[in-house]
Structure formats: structure tokens, C-alpha cells
Amino acid sequence: MLATGVTLGMALPAAAEPLRLVALGDSLTQGFGLPEEDGLVPQLQAWLDAEGHDVKVINAGVSGDTTAGGRARLDWTLAEPADAMLVALGGNDLLRGIDPAESRANLDAILARLGEEGIPAMLVGLPAPGNFGPEFRDAFAAMYPELAEAHGATLYPDLLAPMSARAARGERFAELMQDDQIHPNARGVAVIVEELGPAVVEFLDSLGAEDGA
């Protein structure tokens, strides 16, 4: 059973500022092609607010960013306080066919840096494609769970899984996507947040449990 907003609040000191959750990502995080309020971060923020959670989600998504780009701007991202971070990168690596070994090295460096800074991370994965061959697919599929285990990060295996599940039940996948068929539309983002939101709450509540709250 998911923890309540009261439980999450117990993880924070009395009268504390909202917990700052930084979402480091690419266009899927940034909200490419959507009105500001319909992007992933605003919809996740609205979901958390509606559920009574004292969390501020910071949009650190940059359209077009690869894992290398996210790694390169980590100093800038961490210039502001971060209590926890969602690391949601890899989509543009897929689009460009970047060697999964490079993507892995970049995500490994990001998670290592967060570990040094004492910032808990949720690593958000993507489905492994087959169009670059089985070796690429297998390496990409293994990347997220293996890195999460190595760094003690929480794994959210597939950001797009809720949309794929809808499609498997007969809903047209295209109806959840923008015209480019790459980025989810507002409805698609809402479908993602329905499952991502509870997972984020469980992630943040686990941090309170580790602190003895």
C-alpha cells in the first residue's frame, strides 16, 4: 500500500522547506511541444500537490540532451539545493544510436557524483529498441538495472511503460503521442504520471525510513 502524504511529511523536519526533487532529463522531462502546464514536471507536481505531498519538483530537463549532456551540466544543476534527483536520460542516445557503453559511462558518472554529494537518485529507464540489433538492445536493457544496483539507486524501469500498457489493452498509441510520434501529448504525460507519481512517493518515503523517520 502506498504511503500517505502524512508519511512523507514525517521524513522532513517540522516547518521545513518543501523537499526539492530535481528532474534531470531531456525533452521528455522538459515538456517539449506542450503548454508549460502539460509537461511532465508540472503534471507530476500537480499530482503530488493533489495527494498532499510537500515536494517541489525542479525541471532540469533540456530538450535534445543526451546522457553526455546531462553529465556535462551536472555542476550547473547542482548549483541549487537538491534533496533527491530523478535521472531520466537516454532517449536521445537511442535516437542517435550512441553506443550503450558510452551511455552507461555517462549515467555511471552522474550516479557516482550524486553518491558523493549524498543525493539519493531514482534512475528512470526506457525500453530497449531492437532496430540497432540484438547486442545494442541487450546492452541498453541491462544498463539501467545494473547501474541502479551498483549505485544503490532506486530503479523506475520504463518511463513509457504506462503508455505501452494502454496500447496493449487496445488504445491507439498514436492517440497518446504528439504528431512527431516521439513525444507524448498531454494525455500521454498524464498516463505516465499516474504510475510515476506513486513510485516517486515510495522513493521519497524510503529516504525518510532510512533516516529513521
Q: Judge whether 83 counts as a catalytic residue.
A: no
Residue 208 has pLDDT above 90, yes or no: no
Q: What is the pLDDT of residue 10?
A: 39
Do the Cβ atoms of 102 and 67 come closer than 8 Å? yes
User: For this structure, is 180 an active site residue?
Assistant: yes
Q: Does residue 6 carry a pLDDT above 50?
A: no
Query: pLDDT per residue over 97-130, tens digit each?
Result: 999 999 999 999 999 999 999 999 999 999 988 8
CA-wise closest residue to 20 among 152, 88, 119, 115: 119
Q: Do the beta carbons of residue 63 and residue 32 sit within 8 Å?
A: yes
| Amino acid letter, 137 | R
Q: Which of 53, 65, 183, 205 is catalytic?
A: 183
The proportion of the chain whose per-residue pLDDT surpasses 70, expressed as a percent, equals 91
Asked whether 106 and 72 are in contact (CB, 8 A), the reply is no
C-alpha distances in Å from residue 24, one per residue of 2, 63, 132? 25, 11, 26
Q: Among 1.10.10.60, 3.40.50.1110, 2.40.30.10, 1.20.272.10, name the CATH number for the domain at 5-207.
A: 3.40.50.1110
User: Which pLDDT score, from 0 to 100, does residue 3 have?
Assistant: 36
Residue range 175-188: average pLDDT?
93
Of 26, 27, 53, 83, catalytic: 27
Mean pLDDT, residues 56-76 taken together? 97
In the residue annotation, 179 being an active-site residue is answered as no
Is pLDDT above 50 for 9? no
CA-nearest of 86, 69, 100 to 196 is: 86
- Report angle CA 17, 45, 145 to the nearest 5 degrees: 100
Q: What is the pTM of this model?
A: 0.89
Flag the least confident range among 37-41, 83-87, 92-96, 166-170.
166-170
* pLDDT tens column, 38-49: 999 999 999 999
Over residues 131-174, the pLDDT tens digits come to 999 999 999 999 999 999 999 999 999 999 999 998 888 888 88
Predicted local confidence at residue 211, as pLDDT: 41
